A and B are shown apart, each in its own frame.
Chain A
Amino acid sequence: MAENNILNIVLPVILVLFAPILGGFIMGIDRKLTARMQSRMGPPLIQPFYDVIKLWGKQPFISSSIQPILAFGYFAFSLTSFALLAFGQDLLLIIFTVAIADLCLIVASLNSKSPYSVLGGKRELISMMSYEPILLLMAISIYYVTGSFMVQRILSLNYPLLTYLPLVFLALIPVLIIDLKKSPYDVSASAHAHQELVRGVFTEFSGYTLALVELGHWTKIVLMLSLVTLFWATPIIIGIFLALILFFVVLVIDNVYPRLNWKSMLKTTWSVGVLLIIANIVGLISRVVMRI
């Protein structure tokens, strides 16, 4: 039992410490795969780390005095949110904490007067508005299966959530696309600069502030992919495999579709996404009723 307790604390701490690094590798894989899909060689796997290290050493230029604090806030609150997940805490709280991270990024981009940055910030705001309800509804539909909002409970299930919530799983695809900043929903800024010269919400970041924002982005991606792994949490290896498949699907979609405007993003998540989840919950309830 004591061993178990130590594992319960040590393992999450290790996970939290390695989350940004893991995110860096995921970004590396992303760049490699995307390059291959476009018949290029692509950079080495650890290129994102080279980038961030180089950015950190650059001469510092900032757009306002609170920008660095906010950039750090974006990273730190993403990590806090992931920490809550790693410690098996409440799903709703995790989602609300991500909102603080989003707020930091949005305010940092809106507080500069550059039209590109402001436009990016506004679109990031709409992105947040698009995916937050889906995540909350996901948490609620998970509650309908497990009877709890706690991640701990999900990790102790002896059946995969996916078998109960296949449609909710599908509804997560647009959320992942938005959070990875991939086409067709990369309205605020594209993860890879393949469609734009000025990077929307990231325009006014440079040097170490950009490095912090990159770290934040990596952490957030790890967080989102971890949410996907919850759908097959025992054994977790299948969940990780599932997350990687979904990640690959998002990359394919990114390379197939051009960017759509924010209206179609909002419409898709608020109609198709919400309807998928409701259909799933109605299905769950009718399953319970039939059993009775």
Chain B
Amino acid sequence: MNQEILIALTVGVPPLAGFGCLILNNKIARRVIVGLTSLILIGSSLLLYNSGGLHYEPAPIFEILVLVFDLILLTYFLYTGFKYKNILVIGLSILQLFPVLYFEFILHGAEVTPLIIIDNLSLLMSLIISIIGSLVVIYALSYMDEHEEHLHLHGSRQNRFFFFMLLLLGAMNGLVFSNSLYWLYFFWEITTLCSYELIRHDGTEIAIKNSLTALWMNLVGGVAFVAALFIGQLYFHTIAIDKILKLSPNPIVLMLFASLAFAAFTKSAQFPFNKWLQGAMVAPTPVNASLDSGTMVNAGIYLILKIAPPLSNTALGYSIALIGAFTFLISAFLALNERVSKGILAYSTIGNLGLITMCVGINTPLSYTAALTLLVFHSISKGLLFLCVGVVENRVQSTLIEDWEGLLRRLPATSLIMIVAMMSMFLPPFGMLLGKWVAIDALTSSYYISSMLIILIIVLGSAATSVYYIKWLAYLTVLPMDGEKYGNEKVTWPYSISMLSLFGLIVTLGAGISSILNLIILPTLPEDYYSNISLTLLNVDTGVGSFVTYPIWILTIIIIMSGYFIAKKKGGVIKPPYLSGENVADDPTGFRSTADGIVKIETSAQFFEQEYNNDRLIEIAKIIGSIIMMLLFFAVMF
């Protein structure tokens, strides 16, 4: 098929379909529209991926449209600022609105040809956005029905929800295809708008407060973007990304990259900009699933992946790595003390984005490979985890992991998928661990003496990561005392399609990791990056170590099967646990103590609240994070 049509389908169809959902606010129309859009989006992104990279010049009318919509958007942000009397939003919108006017009408921003360049990185990103994003929107069809049922709304507000969800997908695809910094900035601002509107969707006081936090933090990134536009225009007379990347590094070019990296960090929620992603957890769960896995945060990662090649062996690159590593460490410790399920996932997202950022900052072919591997597998696993959490939340009516005791018995299918998804985040033989393993190989072989500090951070952080996932995972398997079940699992088709597809992706892509590396990840490396990864039949070999792939998968399956076989063969009577005395016959939570008095037992999960306090840790992390962010701009001089 014609590639131009494919571009139009991936970027144009989602907003139009969203518009359709906005007008036709009824259940059946929504299902038809979302179903068709997903098919088109997934199909066209796959076809586009298959047809390879291209340069494309859209019709001139689009340039005018982008400008008009951009000005409307900025005015809307300004209006929002006045409406909620939020001085930060007002200030940051003005800081963008007038410079953009000046840029367009007085400087007459430089012509960019071609406006669209699609390279392998864009194609990979588009694939992630389209597949995972679409599955999340499908999932939302069922979720939002249940959600509104719980809220007892009069009249559905789902039309605006699906409009922004779909608009986000289109904007993300546009973002990764743009070659003009100004277009990139425009799509960037649309994702900001979508996140703001989606976070405040429920309209509660806390939702509005958190959405404004998200808005101003993302607008900070927007301002940094405008600064980058001006540097490009005034010093180099170009805002074409392909040309900017070819400039020979000097402090001013590096300043431009530092601004872009800064903008990227606001999107990918690195410290001290972590707060908005954390606050976003008040939104309906599909929003989190979309923002944290396939879309929004990946915009930030895409941008630093894009600007990485010229930054190799610069102090700027090293500062980027430091920010990522620092975020990884702190978020792991924050997650250790977090009781809310979505909160843990949010910290885990921030941490993994930190890990990816770190890899990009180190900027060797090997670490770039690690970054891409982590990006792909993190998107899938995190998306699936959020989807599972959403299902459970609607059934259990609690977000605290301690209330999810014994979920494996109560919601067996969902819990089993969730447990596998959790294990895929930190254990071999899954893809995420392979990514982390490549990252450690890349770090140790990078020969920065200072990379020792980062290695230490990663090692400690990953220990904490294992702990919070195992803790949570164990909680799901606890034998419930009361034996109560949450009814049978009502499986609607949007749930099963989205969750089973992602589950299938985790397993198949994880098992076929060698092929994935070979076919998708290695071709995505920038031009002059020669990764010395060799893929033999059984191993992924990085030159300094080798990761056994298929044998471990086969062994894992054999172990699970023989474990099951032994359990079946030997069997055994399930006995109540040892408490501290005689068990009480009809009360499994009590035992007889002195003088036959009944004592109730209570157990809790492991938290470290006496050792450190999350609020205090966040305060400290913000200060250190801000200092490292400032280092970013000092680093351009070296």
Contacts and interface: CB of A to CB of B under 8 A. Distances in A.
A16 to B, nearest CB: 12
A147 to B, nearest CB: 7
A103 B564 CA distance: 17
Contact of B555 (A69, A80, A93, A118): A80
Given A115-B579, A148-B544, A76 B559 contact: yes
Given A65-B574, A90-B547, A113-B479, A128 B467 contact: yes
A149 B555 CA distance: 22
Contact of B463 (A65, A66, A129, A212): A129
Interface stretch (B468-476, B490-498, B499-507): B468-476
Contacts of B449: 285
Contacts of A281: 452
Interface in A131-168: 132-133, 136-137, 140, 143-144, 147-150
Interface in B143-187: none
Interface in A200-229: 203-204, 207-209, 212
Contacts of B603: 113, 115, 118-119
Majority SS at the chain B contact face = helix
B403 to A, nearest CB: 15
A143 B452 CA distance: 12
Given A68-B566, A100-B428, A113-B601, A93 B548 contact: yes
Nearest to B433: A96
B455 interface: yes
A111 to B, nearest CB: 4
Interface string A73-107: 10011001000100001111100110110110011
B597 interface: no
Given A107-B474, A111-B479, A115-B603, A69 B467 contact: no
Most buried by B among A66, A91, A144: A66
B428 A93 contact: yes
Nearest to B604: A118
A204 B572 CA distance: 13
A209 to B, nearest CB: 8
B565 to A, nearest CB: 9
A121 B574 CA distance: 20
B575 A61 contact: yes
Given A68-B566, A90-B547, A114 B579 contact: yes
Nearest to A270: B460
A99 B466 contact: yes
Contacts of B605: 122
A62 B575 contact: yes
Interface in A156-212: 198, 203-204, 207-209, 212
A22 interface: no
Given A68-B570, A113-B478, A63 B575 contact: yes
B580 interface: yes
B444 A143 contact: yes
A158 B184 CA distance: 56
B478 A110 contact: yes
Contacts of A137: 455-456, 459
Most buried by A among B466, B546, B572: B572
Nearest to A110: B474
A288 B426 CA distance: 35
Contact of A90 (B545, B564, B570): B545
Interface in B584-638: 588-589, 601, 603, 605-606, 611
Interface string B505-531: 000000000000000000000000000
A113 B474 contact: no
Contacts of A238: none
A110 B606 CA distance: 11
B445 to A, nearest CB: 8
Contacts of A147: 544
A110 to B, nearest CB: 4
B66 interface: no
Given A93-B548, A125-B606, A61 B459 contact: no
Contacts of B563: 68-70, 72-73, 76
A50 B131 CA distance: 57
Interface in A45-75: 60-66, 68-70, 72-73
15 contacts: A61-B574, A80-B552, A92-B545, A97-B428, A107-B477, A110-B475, A114-B578, A115-B579, A125-B470, A128-B463, A128-B467, A136-B462, A147-B544, A148-B545, A204-B577
The 4 closest A-B pairs by CB, nearest first: A60-B572, A149-B545, A114-B577, A110-B474
Interface of B: 408, 423, 426-428, 433, 437, 440-441, 444-445, 449, 452, 455-456, 459-460, 462-464, 466-467, 470-471, 473-475, 477-479, 481, 544-548, 552, 555, 559-560, 562-564, 566-567, 570-575, 577-580, 588-589, 601, 603, 605-606, 611
Given A99-B427, A133-B459, A208-B572, 18 more contacts: A62-B573, A68-B563, A69-B564, A69-B566, A80-B559, A90-B437, A92-B437, A106-B474, A111-B477, A113-B577, A125-B606, A129-B463, A133-B460, A149-B544, A208-B570, A263-B611, A274-B460, A281-B452
